[in-house]
Amino acid sequence: MPGFEVFGEEEKKEIGEVLDTGVLFRYEFPNERRGIYKVRQFEEEFARYCGVAHAQAVTSGTAALKVALTAMGVGPGDEVITQGFTFVATWEAIFDVGAIPVFAEVDDTLNLDPADLEGKITARTKAIIPVHMMGVPARIAEIKAIADRHGIPVLEDTAQAPGAGIKGRKCGSFGLCGTFSFDPVKTMTTGEGGMIITDDEDLWRKMSEYHDHGHDHVANPGGRGGEGRSFIGFNFRMMELQGAIGLAQLAKLDGIIAAQRRNKEALRELVGQLPGVSFRTVIDPAGDNASFLAFFLPDAAEARRVNEILGQNGAGAVYFANNTWHYYPKWEHLLAGSTLARSGWPFEEAGGRRRVHYDPAALPRSAALLDRLLVYPVPVKLSPERLEQIGKAVKAAC
């Protein structure tokens, strides 16, 4: 599944061009860099690939969420709806801008359930974040229709789904903006790094300025430091080495996805032998980035039994019902309101008033799905020996 499987001469070439300039910072030093601006080029090519007007590179997928939410004006007193099956970064970013995460159910796509979404909307809802989990698009058309009806912007968390889409349109381009992660285990990687895409020029300019300490980036004769500032910002800048790797990885993305689709189909054929197995709903199979194979067994006991046998045979799957990084009832620090802040923020106000409580049993439909779910990450390179091992494990489980 991760892009590091295909690191090669292309990445080395791009990195070498940066090192030859001696400039790792994405701005300034025009004489030394001799026209080489890797981060800027990465932004332009990523936007083009996604079919949008603008892209803003940042230091991580988590930073992408925070920068996007900040530019959207989300802050204290606001609520943001997202799903209870996602990586912790989705809701960490919501808390970090001062807003409160509101968790909704997932459906058989393992993404935000439109049927539960509308009931979670209040007058305080200022954004909706569907997550295209494990490479498969959410029911984004239905989600967007609900959001539009209430006048609420949609931010697509596309961290795990670069290259995925519906009817030829890329995930991340349906909402007001979309965020991506390029961490070590993502479909394409820069080690760390992230991206935000949008067609809204004003939003893009705000993101560009906020991620660079509020600098307005207006050309001036005095060089960097002479810009004006319309608001305070922070530092979430991507550096040139990451941009260089990103360019090489982006050029390989379609090939990575094609390989994963072949390997996913081979794994699906093996897993299909399990009695009572069913597979995750994929709205548009042609838009699946195929980084994971997700399948359900008839009940939780059978899922655990099968996975125990798979594990004994060297081919255990991921059982997300026990996963502490991605699943709402397992986020013990969220449920307990654990924080380093003496004031209790973001769970308590400065005066000690509790802002929010989370009930571990609040998402029963999601729990009913996750209890039966097993998942195989799909590699870019799947050897015949590994495929044979998984096949033998599945037969043992049968």
Helix/strand number for the chain, H first, E second: 13, 12
Please choose, from the candidates 123, 119, 78, the residue with its C-alpha nearest in 3D space to the C-alpha of residue 101. 78
Residue 380 φ then ψ, to 5°: -70, -40
Bridge-based pairing state of the strands 165-166 and 373-377 = unpaired
> Out of 126, 144, 186, 206, which one is annotated catalytic?
186
Please choose, from the candidates 342, 343, 340, the residue with its C-alpha nearest in 3D space to the C-alpha of residue 353. 343
CA distance 118 to 132: 19
The structure tokens listed for 216 are 């307005």
122 in helix, strand or coil?
A: coil
Is position 186 annotated as part of the catalytic site? Answer: yes
Please choose, from the candidates 258, 342, 273, 345, the residue with its C-alpha nearest in 3D space to the C-alpha of residue 306. 273
* Residue appearing with tokens 């430091």: 225
| DSSP secondary structure string for all residues of 228-289 | -BSS---B-PPPHHHHHHHHHHHHHHHHHHHHHHHHHHHHHHHHTTSTT-EE---S-GGG--
Give just the sign of the alpha carbon dihedral 6, 197, 287, 281.
positive
* Residue appearing with tokens 């106000």: 349
Longest dimension (CA), the chain: 72
What residue spans of the chain are helical by DSSP H? Answer: 9-21, 30-33, 38-50, 61-71, 89-96, 114-120, 140-150, 201-210, 240-271, 300-312, 332-336, 364-370, 384-397
Q: Which residues are catalytic?
A: 186
